[in-house]
Amino acid sequence: MRMIAAHKAMTVMTASFTGVAAHSSLTPSGVNAIEYASRFVVYARNLADSMRDSGPFDEAYDVPHTTMSVNEISGGIAQNTVPDRCDVTVEFRAIAENDPEEIVGHLRECIDDLDTRMREENPDAGATLTVLSAVVGLDTAPDSEGARFVADLVSRTEGLTDTEPVKVTYGTEAGLFSKAGIDTLVLGPGDIAQAHAADEFVELDQIRACERFFSALAARLSE
């Protein structure tokens, strides 16, 4: 039941590498998809390190910079076969100062370069990058009309006292409303520390506070 004014944008992508299979004793006749995928992994890590070290930064977040990580990788069929396939899933979460499309563009440049190199080895080989999902970031100004409206409701709600907007690490659909030009904040019962677990729960006191908040909203809209 806190006023959330901002969260990072999130983008998930899969880099797919198509090689050419061959017996491992005849490596020059194949194209190793895993080896090319590993170059992409190193590029993604270097890009992540650059954003970690050079920013931009937003100290209101627990992790004050844009993050990127390779979270899944699969490839290869046997220990004595040059792999003809490797897929890498990479995710990044961008603060407002970083343009997600620009970051995707950097990754595409790497993929395009690797695609060219793979095709030079064999025209049947290549690499592609596919965006699987994207969550629009939220960054509502704390002095916006919407923020002031919600702060007034919080001040009217028994048991709620924190009228300072905060920034959180997880994502929501709120960024879509914000992108459409609507002042948007997130406020609701529960704690992210209690989410996405086998015993996920919401405290009853939080539910009661939420009920009082909506009562305050109904009263405010009836004035």
Residue type, 165: P
Q: Across all residues in the chain, what is the average pLDDT?
A: 95
Does the pLDDT value for residue 203 go beyond 90? yes
Please identify which residue in the block is written with the tokens 């970690």. 52
Looking at residue 136, its pLDDT comes to 96
Does the pLDDT value for residue 161 go beyond 90? no
Residues with Cβ within 8 Å of 219's Cβ and at least 6 positions away in sequence, in order, are: 156
Report angle CA 130, 42, 120 to the nearest 5 degrees: 65
Report angle CA 98, 11, 36 to the nearest 5 degrees: 100
Does the pLDDT value for residue 34 go beyond 90? yes
Are 184 and 138 in contact by the 8 Å Cβ rule? The answer is yes
Could you report the per-residue pLDDT of 40-49, keeping only the tens digit for each? 999 999 999 9
Q: Which of 209, 203, 144, 130 is nearest to 178 (CA)?
A: 144
Residue 139 and residue 60: Cα distance in Å, rounded? 12
Could you report the per-residue pLDDT of 35-87, keeping only the tens digit for each? 999 999 999 999 999 999 999 999 999 999 999 999 999 999 999 999 999 99
Are 165 and 140 in contact by the 8 Å Cβ rule? The answer is yes
Could you report the per-residue pLDDT of 177-199, keeping only the tens digit for each? 999 999 999 999 998 888 888 89
Query: b or e along 10-41 (b: 16 or more beta carbons within 10 Å of the residue's beta carbon)?
Result: bbbbebbbbbbbbeeeeeeebbbbbbbbbebb
Residue 175 and residue 156: Cα distance in Å, rounded? 26
Q: How far is CA 222 from CA 20, 167, 218, in A?
A: 69, 30, 6
Are 3 and 167 in contact by the 8 Å Cβ rule? The answer is no
Does the pLDDT value for residue 205 go beyond 90? yes
